[in-house]
Amino acid sequence: MKYNFDKVVDRWNTHSEKWDGMLEKYGTTDLLPMWEADLDFPTAPCIQEAIVKRAEHGIYGYTLREDSFFNSIINWQEKRNNWKIKKEWIRNSTGTIPAVSVAVNAFTRPGDKVIIQDPVYYRFLDSITFNGRHVVHNTMKYENGQYHIDFDDLEKQVNSRVKMLILCNPQNPVGKVFSKEELIKLGEFCLRNNIIIISDEVYSDIVFSDHKHIPIASLSKELEMCTVTLFGPGKGFNLSGLKPTIIAIANPNLMEAYDFVSQGMQILLKNTFSIEAIEAAYVGGEDWLDECIKYLEGNRDFMVDFVKNKMPKVDIVKPEGTYIAWMDFNGLGMNDEELEKFAVKEMKIGFKYGYTFGRGGEGFQRVNFGCPRALLEEGLTRIEKAVKKL
């Protein structure tokens, strides 16, 4: 390997939410933090160099997005996902969830309904409810260790007030990469019912062997016309603190509505370092990313084997992408409050609690395996020892 993902880098005292934020979140600093979804690896050298070079200039005034910036995004989507997008479809925002909130405001009215497929990234819920819209819970089916979309439930719940569906692909927290068949079936449902799709694809750069990320908008012209796609190098290249979100909207009517709301909120403002980082990642970061994916896949396999072989009362959903794993602690017979206390006091692990992902999250914990293998092993060993003592 050209890059060393085994190296443990000290993140304390860097204003890291995952590390330095532990005291506020858990009331202690002696946990191994496996919660916040960023990587414990430095980003690709080419991105570091671009940022340092820009920083050395010393003037950080207002900034432009040049053609080279747009071309890097267009080329990345085509090369990695076989989806041809155009410059005029692209917007940026300081974060993915602000873009979701803009979409909710642009494409629905107060009182309308928005479908989520929980357990799912909990901030979708905030974007819907804090804007006065209602949530439709199309909770996924969990069968034989795998999650599936409940299509019968979708048909039962749909009515004329349902205007939008927020898809999370690859899925946070269960690590699922939706197949072409599933996406086509879901897309047909949305087209039949005039439902706009917000497709959160922020994890699309991290997909493991035997799986392929497919942007739902790339599946047909009709789907392209009813979808807003959110992506960016934040997760894959560990740039989330720079808020490098990219939005692609092919339908000019949807774009007009999106622009109207986002201009009203002024969320299109540009960040100098984010622009440098996006272009550097997409132009020169591919070999780093491919090695990172391989390393993460190794971590995934290590973790699944560890849990299956050493923790008889605990289960794990094998992630197909992302660097988060969904661990099932229901076999311990604890309620969520007891499990939370057990995690902090006995396991000494900072988890993202399963119940925060909505329905279907009870008894689960989301575990971030985006770290050097030694840290992952340390975390798993802590869990194993605490569970054995029960």
Ligand X SMILES: Cc1ncc(COP(=O)(O)O)c(C=O)c1O
SS3 state at 292: helix
Rounded to whole angstroms, how far apart are CA atoms 174 and 147? 8
Closer residue to ligand X, CB minimum distance, 244 or 363: 244
SS3 state at 257: helix
Q: Which of 41, 121, 231, 306 binds ligand X (CB under 6 A)?
A: 121
Give me the least distance between CB of 323 and ligand X, in Å please. 10
Q: Are 308 and 325 in contact (CB under 8 A)?
A: no
Beta strand residue intervals within 6-64, DSSP E: 32-33
Q: Which of 138, 172, 229, 274 binds ligand X (CB under 6 A)?
A: 172
Closest CA to 215 of 203, 233, 199: 199
Rounded to whole angstroms, how far apart are CA atoms 143 and 140? 10
Rounded to whole angstroms, how far apart are CA atoms 271 and 276? 9
Scanning 12-20, 91-99, 361-369, 374-382 for contacts with ligand X by CB under 6 A, the matching segment is 91-99
Q: Which of 31, 125, 136, 168 binds ligand X (CB under 6 A)?
A: 168
Strands 146-148 and 141-143: antiparallel
Closer residue to ligand X, CB minimum distance, 96 or 105: 96
Q: Does 119 contact ligand X by CB under 6 A?
A: no
Scanning 4-12, 95-103, 174-182, 263-271 for contacts with ligand X by CB under 6 A, the matching segment is 95-103
Rounded to whole angstroms, how far apart are CA atoms 369 and 357? 18
Contact letters (x/-) for ligand X, 27-66, by CB under 6 A?
----------x-----------------------------
Residue type, 125: L
Q: Does 96 contact ligand X by CB under 6 A?
A: yes
Q: Which two tokens stand for residue 300?
A: 């995934």
Give me the least distance between CB of 18 and ligand X, in Å please. 11
Q: Which of 97, 268, 283, 334 binds ligand X (CB under 6 A)?
A: 97
Q: Does 147 contact ligand X by CB under 6 A?
A: no
Closer residue to ligand X, CB minimum distance, 117 or 158: 117
Closer residue to ligand X, CB minimum distance, 243 or 373: 243
Strands 245-249 and 162-168: unpaired
Give me the least distance between CB of 103 and ligand X, in Å please. 13
Closer residue to ligand X, CB minimum distance, 11 or 310: 11
Give me the least distance between CB of 214 and ligand X, in Å please. 16
The site that binds ligand X (CB under 6 A) totals a number of residues, namely: 12
Q: Are 35 and 351 in contact (CB under 8 A)?
A: yes
Contact letters (x/-) for ligand X, 183-202, by CB under 6 A?
-----------------x-x
Q: Are 235 and 37 in contact (CB under 8 A)?
A: yes
Q: Does 296 contact ligand X by CB under 6 A?
A: no
DSSP run (H or E) holding 284: helix 272-284
Q: How many residues does the chain have?
A: 390
Q: Does 205 contact ligand X by CB under 6 A?
A: no
Closest CA to 76 of 290, 283, 321: 283
Q: Are 322 and 200 in contact (CB under 8 A)?
A: no
Rounded to whole angstroms, how far apart are CA atoms 189 and 241? 36
Q: Does 234 contact ligand X by CB under 6 A?
A: yes
Scanning 48-56, 92-100, 294-302, 331-339 for contacts with ligand X by CB under 6 A, the matching segment is 92-100
Give me the least distance between CB of 38 and ligand X, in Å please. 8
User: Which residues bind to ligand X, rule: CB under 6 A?
Assistant: 37, 95-97, 121, 168, 172, 200, 202, 234, 240, 245
